[in-house]
Amino acid sequence: MNSVQRSGGTTVVASSDGRGWRGLEAELLRVAPGRTHVPAATQHRLGIHMGPPVNADCRCDGRTHRRIQKHGDIDIVPAGLDGFWEDDRECVILRLKLDQSLFHRAMSDLGRDPNQQPLVPTFQLRDPRLETIAWAIKAELEANVPSDLLYAETLALGLAIRMAEAAGACSQTSRSATTLSSRQKALLADFIECNLETSLSLGQLASLLAVSLTHLKAQFVNSFGMPPHRYILNRRVERAKVLLAHSDLPMSQIALEAGFSHQSHMATTMKRILGQTPREILRHRV
C-alpha cells in the first residue's frame, strides 16, 4: 500500500479503508517530530507507540502528561475528546478507532453500564492483552492477502471487550460462560457447513443461538477449541480439499464454492494450514 501524506507531517503507511471492516478502523501512521493535533472523533481511539522510545508530551481533557513513550505504550482517548501530542523525534503509531456502539454492547454483555463506568482518557497504559489484539490488527493491515472479514470482526469484538474491562468491567460473565450444549454445537456446525460459501458474521451465529456476542465467543472457543473465524477457515480449507480431489471444477470456481474471496486467497490459506497448495493437491490426485 502506498503511503499517503497528511497535513502536520503525518504519513498514513497502511489503512483499513476499503476493507469492509465493521465497528473498527485502523491506521499505521508515521508522525514527524513536533506538535500534532488529533481532532475529536465519534469513535473511541487508541494510539499504540511502536519502535524506539521518544520524549512525548500530550494534553487531553485539560490534563498534561509528560513521559518517555516506549514500544507498546497505549493512549486511550474517549469519543468526543481532542488532544495535542508533541514528540521530540519521528515515531510510528498504530491508531485504532472503535465504534461506541460496539463498546456499549461489550459493556452490556459484561453486565456494566457505560454511563456509570465511562471510558476515561488513559495515557501510557501497559496491557499485554490489548497489545496482542493491536499487533494482530497491524498484521492484518500489512497482509498482502487479507483474511476473511469474520477475523476482523473478531478482533474488533476482542478489542471492545478488553476496553470494557479496562473501563472497570470485570470478566466474570466471560469466565462463567462454560460450553455450548450438544444441540447448540451441532446447530452451529451444521449452519456453518451449509453456509461456507457466504460471508458469515459473528452476529449471525449469535442470533442463531439467541446469545450475546461475548457469550458466543467464549462458549465457541470452549466447545470447538478455537475461535469462530479459525474454525470456519479450517472448514473452508477442508471443503476446498474435497472439491480438488473429487470434482473437475476450475480452481477459481472451487475457491468461490469453498467461501474464499478468490483463488489466490484459497492457495495462500491452504499452504498455511495444510502445508500444500491446491496445485500440489491436484498433482497427487488419483
Q: Using CA atoms, how far apart are residues 20 and 17, in angstroms rounded to an integer?
A: 7
| pLDDT for res 8 | 59
In a domain, 242, yes or no: yes
In a domain, 264, yes or no: yes
In a domain, 155, yes or no: no
| pLDDT for res 240 | 93
In a domain, 194, yes or no: yes
If asked whether residues 15 and 143 sit together in one domain, one would say yes
Range of the domain at 201: 177-225
In a domain, 56, yes or no: yes
If asked whether residues 189 and 252 sit together in one domain, one would say no
In a domain, 168, yes or no: no
Q: Which of 106, 127, 148 is the last residue of a domain?
A: 148
If asked whether residues 116 and 241 sit together in one domain, one would say no
Q: Exposure string (b/e) for 218-256, b if CB count within 10 Å is 16 or more? A: bbbbebbeebbbbbbbebbbbbbbebbeeeeeebeebbe
Percent helix, strand, coil in the chain, to 5, is 45, 20, 35
Q: Which of 205, 225, 245 is the last residue of a domain?
A: 225
If asked whether residues 143 and 9 sit together in one domain, one would say yes
Task: Indicate whether 43 pLDDT > 60.
Answer: yes
If asked whether residues 204 and 250 sit together in one domain, one would say no
pLDDT tens profile 91-121: 999 999 999 999 998 888 877 777 767 788 8
Range name among 135-139, 149-153, 166-170 with the lowest pLDDT average = 166-170
If asked whether residues 252 and 122 sit together in one domain, one would say no
If asked whether residues 101 and 188 sit together in one domain, one would say no
| pLDDT for res 168 | 58
pLDDT tens profile 211-246: 777 778 888 988 999 989 999 999 999 999 999 988
Task: Indicate whether 278 pLDDT > 60.
Answer: yes
If asked whether residues 89 and 25 sit together in one domain, one would say yes
Q: What's the average model confidence in pLDDT over 179-188?
A: 89
0.75 exceeded by pTM: no
- Tell me how many domains the chain contains: 3
Task: Indicate whether 174 pLDDT > 60.
Answer: no
**Residue 247's CATH number:** 1.10.10.60
